[in-house]
Amino acid sequence: MKRLLILSFALMAIVGCSKQAEVRVATFNIRFNSAEDAKTGDSWNERKESVAEVILSHDFDIVGTQEGSKRQIADLLSLMPDYDCIGHPYGGSSGELHTATTFYKRDKLELLDEGTFWYSPTPEVKSKGWDATDLRLCHWGKFRDKASGKEFFFFDSHLYWRLHEARANSGWVHNQMMQKIVGELPVISVGDFNSGENSPQMKDIFTLLRDSRKVSASAPQGSVDTNLGGGNFVGPAKGRIDFILVSPSIEVKDYAVLEDKRENGHYPSDHLPIVCNVQF
């Protein structure tokens, strides 16, 4: 009898350890609160409900957002009571024009740790990178999936958009800091990378992480491109600069670029969100 009990407990432990985490992950540049957007009927006050509706109706478990101000984040939290968030400000002359903010379902995920690094030669110190004119960063969180007990890291980045050196050096900064922070746990890295897939910076990142669009088990859905252009809320998108990247241990079940529109036919933001179901 004692031997049978020991065997039963051993089998239970094996089953428990083999349970996989299943997480619905997304990235969404929500466009900062620009006064210019009111001219086209796309002010934040006119868009905020539709941005929240995308997140809620598509049932994101965790989503990395870019550009939202502290006020925008507060608005979204009030519209999405089942979500908590982590984030950090960056950008503009004050260094606080935008935030990189990750929203996550509190009943699904537990936050274990968080931090920030900067896309610069000194990534652990708040600093501008090379020829960049403002601050760019990655804010990361370490999470536990409550159902499976599995832990993972979620990186949310917004790379510099204009000059060459700051963009080109961002890939190795991302990789250097990821290897320092993560250890052996699975990684999901999302964001507005302001870079095409064939750019030097993305090629650097692809040495460690995989492009979810290319490794999806099912055919990708929706537009290939994700960038509508700054302050433009009508299509078609003109470039693919937003990505969901995963470490090799993560299986991507599907991939979709969402094209939900508001009643006026405009998109909720000047970027299209991406969503994937992943398993690890």
Residues 139-168: pLDDT tens digits? Answer: 999 999 999 999 999 999 999 987 789 889
8 Å CB contact between 160 and 129: yes
Overall number of domains in the chain:
1
Tell whether 5 is covered by a domain.
no
CATH number of 42's domain = 3.60.10.10
Tell whether 112 is covered by a domain.
yes
Tell whether 179 is covered by a domain.
yes
Tell whether 31 is covered by a domain.
yes
The helix (H) or strand (E) run that includes residue 87 is: strand 83-90
pLDDT for res 18: 60
Tell whether 246 is covered by a domain.
yes
Tell whether 1 is covered by a domain.
no
Q: Could you tell me the residue range of the domain that residue 213 belongs to?
A: 20-279
Tell whether 10 is covered by a domain.
no
Tell whether 3 is covered by a domain.
no
pLDDT for res 92: 84
8 Å CB contact between 163 and 131: yes
Task: Output 235 or 98, whichever has higher pLDDT.
Answer: 98
* 56 token code pair: 């809620």
pTM, rounded to two decimals: 0.93
Q: How confident is the model at residue 3 (pLDDT cuts 50, 70, 90)?
A: very low
